[in-house]
Amino acid sequence: MKSLIAFIFTVCVIFTLFLTLPYNTKDTYIYINQGETLLKISEELKNQKLIISKDLFILLFLLLNETPKAGYYKIEKNSNLINIFSKISKGKQDLIKVIIIPGDDLFSISKKLETYGIIKKENFLNFFNNKFKLLSIGFPYDNFEGFIIPDTYFLEKNTSPKRLFHIFYNKFIRTYKKADKEFYEKMIIASIIEKEAKTTKDKYLISSVIHNRLNKKLPLQIDATLLYMAKKLNIKEKQIKELKLIQSPYNTYKKQGLPPTPICSFSKESLNASFNPEKTDYLFYFTKDGKTHIFSKDYKQHLKKLKSKW
């Protein structure tokens, strides 16, 4: 009898230790899909060295008749099985869902992040628009525009600029594998295409116009770069014709060549169009209905088509 009691006591002690002893040695982020099985979740937790025993994890859910809730979770350093069970069974998500879409720029992204309590707009812009701060952590370009890939992100409240930089930049490098000067120029073109074109066909045609004008050393004369310039200079309520007069590296009416940086985040399709422009002689275009564009080979033809539009 004594040996049975001793055995039960030993089992209870071991069980308690498994439940309460911290196991993971660093903060770790996990994602649980809707409808994911306990077995698959336990395997993921074991692979990431967050739990000692898959069986005990599953048993805990079965004994207490609980189910894991889908979502993103931060498993803090030194969490034990009880901590992890409590968080996942109650759906205590630590991360906030933020969606970045093609065409978003640093200014619109900063507003989104502030709305969700991720970071203050001013703190975000003061870091990601500051080439010296970016250079201090090894980033070689003037600002971070274009490097935030359109996607769904799960972020913590009150995240530091450096932490956000690593999240966004690591994703960019994992996706595109590089960010050299030649690729960066294509990023700039892709961002212009993203702002100018609404259809897949027009993306490749507008890319053609951009490349043709660059090859002929003609100014791009693209309104989207003026609108971005206005944001950077905090200019409001100005007409395009007034913006054209401002001296700025983003004024593609006055300056020949590309603007110094991308002007927004872009889709993979826009990037593909920047690398693979349609083969045309087009040098001009205008929008017919805000969606599709009319293209011309020379200014005379361009003016004629403009007049016929009205």
- Predicted structure pTM score: 0.77
% of the chain at pLDDT higher than 90: 59
Structural contact between residues 247 and 237, judged by C-beta atoms closer than 8 angstroms: no
Alpha helices per DSSP H over the chain: 2-20, 38-47, 54-63, 81-90, 106-115, 121-128, 131-136, 161-176, 181-196, 200-215, 223-232, 240-243, 268-275, 299-309
Place of tokens 């055995």: 7
Domain 19-90, what architecture?
2-Layer Sandwich (3.30)
Lowest mean pLDDT among 2-11, 40-49, 63-72, 260-269: 2-11
Q: Residue 19 pLDDT > 90, yes or no?
A: no
Place of tokens 């109650």: 90
Task: Note the pLDDT of residue 21.
Answer: 54
Kindly report, residue by residue over 240-290, the tens digit of the pLDDT: 889 999 999 999 999 999 999 999 999 999 999 999 999 999 999 998 777
Lowest mean pLDDT among 24-28, 81-85, 198-202, 302-306: 24-28
* Token pair of 143 as six digits: 């600002």
CA 182 to chain centre: 21
Q: Residue 55 pLDDT > 90, yes or no?
A: no
Task: Note the pLDDT of residue 9.
Answer: 42
Share the mean pLDDT of the chain: 89
The amino acid sitting at 289 is: D
- CATH 3.30.1490.480 residue ranges of the chain are 19-90
The band of 136, judged by pLDDT with boundaries at 50, 70 and 90, is: very high
Q: Residue 309 pLDDT > 80, yes or no?
A: no
